[in-house]
Structure 1
Amino acid sequence: MTSRPFTVADVMTEKVVAVRPDTAFKEIVAAMERWKVTALPVLEGEGRVVGVVSEADLLLKEEFHDRRLGMVEQLRRHDATAKAGSDRAAELMTAPAVTVGPEASLSQAARLMATRRVKRLPVVDGDGVIRGIVSRSDLLKVFLRPDEELADEVRHEVVAHLFPLSRDRIEVRVEAGVVTLTGDVRDSSLIPVAERLARAVEGVVDVRCGLTLATEL
Structure 2
Amino acid sequence: MQIEQLNAMTKARLMVIDASAAVQAAAHSLSKPGIGLVIVCDDDGAAAGVLSKSDLIRHLTSPRLPAPPASALMTSPIVSCGPQDDLHAVYQTMASRSLQNLPVLDVGAKPIGILDIRDAMRALFREEEIEEQMLFNYVTGVGYR
Residue identity (%): 21
Q: Name the TM-score, length of structure 1 as normaliser.
A: 0.55
Query: Aligned AA for 2:92?
Result: R
Contact 2:15 2:37 (C-alpha < 8 Å) held by counterparts: no
Mapped pair 1:97 → 2:106: no
Aligned to 2:61: 63
Considering only CA atoms, is the larger Rg found in Structure 1 or Structure 2? 1
Q: In 1, Cα distance between the equivalents of 2:117 and 2:141?
A: 30
Structure 1 regions of 5+ residues with no counterpart? 1-5, 66-80, 160-169, 174-217
RMSD: 2.8
Q: In 2, Cα distance between the equivalents of 1:64 and 1:146?
A: 45
Aligned to 1:112: 93
Structure 2 regions of 5+ residues with no counterpart? none
Paired residue for 1:125, among 102, 106, 122? 106
| TM alignment of 1:205-216, pairs within 5 A | none
State the 1:116 CA deviation.
Answer: 2.5
Task: Specify whether residues 127 and 153 from structure 1 end up closer, same or farther in structure 2 by C-alpha distance, changes over 3 A only.
Answer: farther
Bigger relative contact order (CA 8 A; separation at least 6): 2
Paired residue for 1:141, among 89, 97, 122? 122
1:104-157 deviation line (CA, Å, top 9, x unaligned): 11221112112332211111122212222111111123224696x54564378x
Query: Aligned AA for 2:96?
Result: T
State the 1:48 CA deviation.
Answer: 1.1
Aligned to 2:30: 32
Task: Specify whether residues 93 and 107 from structure 1 end up closer, same or farther in structure 2 by C-alpha distance, changes over 3 A only.
Answer: same
Q: For 1:19, what is the secondary structure of its paired residue?
A: strand
State the 1:34 CA deviation.
Answer: 2.5
Q: Name the TM-score, length of structure 2 as normaliser.
A: 0.78
Aligned to 1:14: 11
Contact 2:22 2:70 (C-alpha < 8 Å) held by counterparts: yes
Count of residues in correspondence between the two structures: 138
Q: Which contiguous aligned blocks of 4+ residues in structure 1 show a shift greater than 3 angstroms?
A: 144-147, 149-156
Q: For 1:118, what is the secondary structure of its paired residue?
A: coil
